[in-house]
Amino acid sequence: MTDALLSMNNVTVRRGMRTVLSKLNLQVSSGQVILFNGTNGEGKSTIIETATGLIPLESGSVHHHGELLIDKSGKAGKPKHPFGLTLQADGCMGSQRMEEHLLTAMDLTGSRIEMDSMLERYNLKHRKHDLIAQLSGGQRRKVAMLAGLIPGFTSSDPRLIFLDEPGSGLDQASRVSLIEDIHYLRGKGHALLIASHNKEFEECATHQYNSDGLVEIGHGPSPTITRENERLIPAKTSIALRTGIVTNNRTMSTLAYNGVAGFLTLGILLALVEPTKLDTGTIQRSGLILSSAFAAGLVGDNMIQLLHEHRSLAWWRAHKQGIPSSYIHGAVLGFALTLLTIFAMDLTISWELPLIGSFLTTSTMFLVRMFDLTSARLARPRAAFTRILTPILILPFALLVQWITDSNLI
My answer on whether 329 and 205 are in the same domain is no
Same-domain pairing of 253 and 374: yes
Give the long-range contacts of residues 134-142, CB within 8 A, separation 24 or more: 135/98, 137/169, 138/169, 138/170, 138/171, 138/174, 140/90, 140/92, 141/90, 141/166, 141/168, 141/169, 141/170, 142/170, 142/174
**CATH number of the CATH domain containing 114:** 3.40.50.300
379-409: burial string, b at 16+ Cβ within 10 Å, e else? eebeeeebeeebeebeeebeebbeebbeeee
Does 324 score more than 90 pLDDT? yes
Let me know if residue 84 belongs to a domain: yes
Judgement on whether residues 189 and 74 belong to the same structural domain of the protein: yes
- Whether residue 287 is predicted with pLDDT greater than 70 in this model: the reply is yes
pLDDT tens-digit profile of 257-276? 999 999 999 999 888 888 77
Q: Please report whether residue 354 resides in a domain.
A: yes
pLDDT band of 382, cuts 50, 70, 90: low
pLDDT bucket at 1, cuts 50 / 70 / 90:
very low
- Cα angle, residue 142 at apex, residues 141 and 144 outer, rounded to 5°: 65
Q: What are the tens digits of pLDDT across the range 141-197?
A: 999 999 999 999 999 899 999 999 998 889 999 999 999 999 999 999 999 999 988
pLDDT of residue 281: 66
Last residue of a domain, one of 179, 209, 234: 234
Overall size of the chain counted in residues: 410
Strand duo 160-164 + 59-64: pairing: unpaired
252 & 153 share domain: no
The residue among 199, 234, 269 that closes a domain is 234
Question: From CA 138, how far away is CA 173, in angstroms rounded?
Answer: 12
Residue 2 has a pLDDT of: 46
Domain count, the chain: 2
Report the pLDDT value the prediction gives residue 379, as an integer from 0 to 100. 58
**Segments forming the whole domain that contains residue 275:** 239-406
Whether 214 and 254 share a structural domain: no
Q: What was the pLDDT predicted at 407?
A: 83
Task: Give the residue with greater pLDDT, 230 vs 192.
Answer: 192
The CA-to-CA distance between both ends of the chain, in Å, stands at 64
Q: Three-class SS of residue 23?
A: strand
Q: 36-56 pLDDT, tens per residue?
A: 987 776 788 899 999 999 988
Domain stop point among 234, 253, 275: 234
The verdict on 230 and 284 lying in the same domain is: no
Mean of all residue pLDDT scores within the chain = 88
For residue 319, pLDDT beyond 80: yes
